[in-house]
Chain A
Amino acid sequence: MNIFRLTGDLSHLLAIIILVLKIWKTRSCAGISGKSQILFALVYFTRYLDLFTNYISLYNSFMKIVFIGASLATLYLMYMKFKATYDRNHDTFRIEFLLIPVTLLGLLVNHEFTPLEIGDTVLVVQVLWTFSIYLESVAILPQLFLVSKTGEAETITSHYLMALGSYRALYLINWIWRYYFEGFYDLIAIVAGIVQTVLYCDFFYLYITRVIRGRALRLPA
């Protein structure tokens, strides 16, 4: 555990807390993509299956449970409690365009390189982990699509996106660190992490030039 990994995790934690609090306090999930939230829930469920197969540390298990819990809470708030405020007319990204390629890629390019056999738990967990890494890298697209469609985002939503985007960027530095000091690298995670971070670049630029200077995030017409 190095400082970049820890700040990355804390940034991720902050993002999901900001999101739940935003919805809870404003009693509204306007401006938030339910489709991105469904994809994130799928990411957590498929990646953290190893809670049952592989104990790493109390910290690791705790964070995984918090991510799954917060993700479920967000879905509950969006699709049940504050359903009336959900922006479904703008949340029109077709998630099958992400799910189908990501599933195929997860089956083809993973760490096992052996044919899928029914009943092989380790292999299934590994393939699902790979699927989750690929899916996470693009899961924000429906949200970015929604922001571009409405042309604006509430400041609190911008903070959420900033924290969520920074998390993988900090992980990238963590991976450089681990490569130099531990000789550890995971090519699948690195490539997906780069893709994930690059997708946020346009947003990072808007955040720095507008939100930090106290203006609302509004896209140029």
Chain B
Amino acid sequence: TKSDVDHDEL
């Protein structure tokens, strides 16, 4: 599974 959600927030 490749996530399309990149969490740039902390």
Residue positions of A touching B, CB distance < 8 A: 5, 9, 12, 47, 50, 54, 56-57, 60, 63-64, 67, 111-112, 114, 120, 122-123, 125-126, 129, 171, 174, 186, 189
Contact = CB atoms under 8 A, between A and B. Distances in A.
Contacts of B7: 47, 50, 54, 56, 129
The secondary-structure label for the interface of chain B is loop
B10 A9 contact: yes
A12 B1 contact: no
Interface of B: 1-3, 5-10
Contact of A122 (B3, B8, B9, B10): B3
Give 8 nearest A-B pairs by CB, closest first: A111-B5, A123-B1, A56-B8, A122-B3, A126-B3, A63-B10, A122-B1, A114-B1
